[in-house]
Amino acid sequence: MALPGAVAAAAGLLLLLLLLVPAAARRCPLLCVDFVAFATMVWSSARCRWRLSRRRPVTLVDVFQEHARRQPRRPLLRFQDEVHTYEDVERRSNRAARALSRRLGLQPGRAVAVFLPNEPTYVWAWLALAKLGCPMACLNTNVRALCTRVCNTPTPRGVCRGALLRDAVEEALPDLQRDGTRVFYLSAHSPTPGVEALLPAIEAASDEPLPAHHRTGVTAKSKAVYIYTSGTTGLPKAAVITETKLMMVANLGRLCGLRPDDIVYTTLPLYHAAGLLIGVGGCFEVGATCVLRAKFSASQFWDDCRHYNVSVIQYVGELMRYLCNTPRHGVRLAMGNGLRAEVWKEFLQRFGPVSIWEFYGATEGNAGFINYTGKIGAVGRDNVFLKTFAPFELIKYNVEKDEPVRDERGLCIRVCPGETGLLVIKITKNTPFDGYAGDSQKTEKKVLRDVLVKGDAFFNSGDLLMIDHERFVYFQDRVGDTFRWKGENVATTEVEATLAMVNFIQEVNVYGVSVPGCEGRCGMAAIRLRAGASFEGERLYAFTRETLPSYAAPRFVRIQDALEITGTFKQCKGNLVRDGFDPGATRDPLFFRDDTKKSYVPLSPDTFAAIRDMRLSL
């Protein structure tokens, strides 16, 4: 949508609403809140689009450069004891852009993959590539084995890597070279024969601004970044982040009240949207400071916040749960997603009045929600105004068949308030779906057609949400995280939240395993015990009988020393599901819920065999 359209529409609506709102507000006070949220978002979106629709589009890099001109001495990055001002980063990225352009012969539009830990290099490398008009593909530093295959997706020309990740580079090098990918280190020395270290060339290059011609082809629709979406299942896919989307996501911080004097603490990996686009991008947008840390550390978290005078933190999923000690701190704002209501409440109790901005959205998604109402646990509201802008629906979903339920005409069915349904968001000009790089099949798989009328197209979020009678929206579960047992849906996150209350359990991951002769999947929980605690089968039995329906109580328990998690604190279920409940597949102690003994008892090979041969039914 171009600005005039947006402005006219917004102004028209505003006028209409000024007349209607006072009357409506008396009956429905949240309507005003809804409208303000809507107006803010329309304004933000229109501003982003206006910047990019100019004859010479103003991209996020231009916004950054404007800050670098206005406040050269303001720190942009803090990392350990290093301070990098806006000017430092501007100059360094100019040098890097020149060196990259010369050494790689980079043409605008060519993707370059980076494989770097969280450090300032990431940020100036990103700016350097952006200044050359080259999209950056952010490789996940945890997915070593995959990295070659992953690189192929956007056909990168060069791969820049930090020397820190040498092993992974050397492992993948033969494959990369066979594919014609050129590999460089961004460090001073190369430990690997045949791979050049670029830092000397970068330092020798001029720090003068780059000629504008590199970026003449950049438009609102140009690809700016590729982000590999992790998920807990399936191979990573490279989500396309266009200049428009980059600008919109970088503006999320501003929507949450991010200010130029803020100091944002980012421990999230920069290869994901939250860390790079919302965190660093948000700082570019408002001109704030970003404190980077290589890895999240629960014990260092609040110390760092005090040391760097942090005012804004970013969280994702269960990260908040790991923060144990309660020191004084100056944090006023937290932004992130995936916070469950219990952890959210506990967080507010322990850490005081921090304003929490919880949002819901997928990296590749075409719209999202944000908690603008202050309702704990809700990710947002089913806002009638916003719905005109980004039409979404919750539709009935068949968990077993793993597909939406359709009526006799072949169309999807809306759920009633209070019911859980699959979130789908209409693909429109306002809410485009940019898909995955070089993979039209995977892109098409995320598009759901014939939803409300024949021929329409919606983005399939793969998430189950619920809208209550007051129109608050709650995240329930990922589609893959819900399984069916005894004809009932079991939401793993709900079972996890319940089990987490058991005092000897430190961490828990719930999943479904196949049992011969049974339909659906049977619940199993991998748990890590609290330090010094031991497993108490009878107590767990009694607790689960009281708190969970019988179909949701895990039949099997597996005790692990550490639970596997992804870089964004999502738990990995794939390997656990594969191992199942076979005592021969793992050395971890396994327990079985024994209804006659009213306890979780060690799972013996005999019991396993009885279940496998269907002599013992569950």
Ligand X SMILES: *[C@@H]1O[C@H](CO)[C@@H](O)[C@H](O)[C@H]1NC(C)=O
Give the shortest CB-307-to-ligand X separation in angstroms. 6
Beta-strand runs (E) in 469-574? 472-478, 482-485, 488-491, 505-513, 522-529, 556-559
- Let me know: does 268 contact 293? Beta carbons within 8 Å: no
Q: Which is nearer to ligand X, 355 or 430 (by Cβ)?
A: 355
Give the shortest CB-334-to-ligand X separation in angstroms. 9
Q: Which is nearer to ligand X, 11 or 83 (by Cβ)?
A: 83
Using alpha carbons, select from 335, 315, 330 the residue that is nearest to residue 261: 330
Give the shortest CB-568-to-ligand X separation in angstroms. 21
CA angle at residue 226 from 430 to 253, to 5 degrees?
60
Instruction: List Cβ neighbours of 604 (8 Å cut-off, separation of 6 or more).
Output: 583
Give the shortest CB-257-to-ligand X separation in angstroms. 8
Give the shortest CB-279-to-ligand X separation in angstroms. 18
Q: What is the signed CA dihedral for 296, 564, 461, 477, rounded to 10 degrees? A: -100
Which residues contact ligand X (rule: CB under 6 A)?
A: 307-309, 355-357, 371-374, 376
Give the shortest CB-25-to-ligand X separation in angstroms. 18
Give the shortest CB-30-to-ligand X separation in angstroms. 12
Going by the DSSP 8-state scheme, the letter that residue 240 receives in this structure is E
- Give the number of other Cβ atoms within 10 Å of residue 500's Cβ: 17
Q: Which is nearer to ligand X, 28 or 411 (by Cβ)?
A: 28
Question: In terms of DSSP bridges, do strands 312-316 and 522-529 run parallel, antiparallel, or are they unpaired?
Answer: unpaired
Q: Which amino acid is at 555?
A: R
Q: Which is nearer to ligand X, 267 or 607 (by Cβ)?
A: 267
Give the shortest CB-356-to-ligand X separation in angstroms. 4
Tokens of 598: 């009213």
Q: Can you give the C-alpha Rg of the chain in angstroms?
A: 25
- Give the number of other Cβ atoms within 10 Å of residue 579's Cβ: 18
Q: Which is nearer to ligand X, 369 or 372 (by Cβ)?
A: 372
Q: Which is nearer to ligand X, 378 or 502 (by Cβ)?
A: 378
Q: Which is nearer to ligand X, 307 or 445 (by Cβ)?
A: 307
Q: Any bridge partners for residue 508, and if so which?
A: 527
Beta-strand runs (E) in 498-559? 505-513, 522-529, 556-559
- Let me know: does 87 contact 75? Beta carbons within 8 Å: no
Give the shortest CB-118-to-ligand X separation in angstroms. 18
Q: Which is nearer to ligand X, 376 or 601 (by Cβ)?
A: 376
Please give the helix or strand (H or E) that residue 16 lies within, else none. helix 3-27
Q: Which is nearer to ligand X, 339 or 412 (by Cβ)?
A: 339
Q: Which is nearer to ligand X, 133 or 253 (by Cβ)?
A: 253
Q: What is the signed CA dihedral for 8, 9, 13, 16, rounded to 10 degrees? A: 60
Using alpha carbons, select from 512, 498, 519, 516 the residue that is nearest to residue 556: 512
Tokens of 604: 């013996």
Between the alpha carbon of residue 532 and those of residues 299, 321, 504, 536, the distances in Å are 19, 19, 9, 13
- What's the number of CA atoms in the CB half-sphere (13 Å) around residue 611? 20
Q: Which is nearer to ligand X, 357 or 600 (by Cβ)?
A: 357
Give the shortest CB-358-to-ligand X separation in angstroms. 6
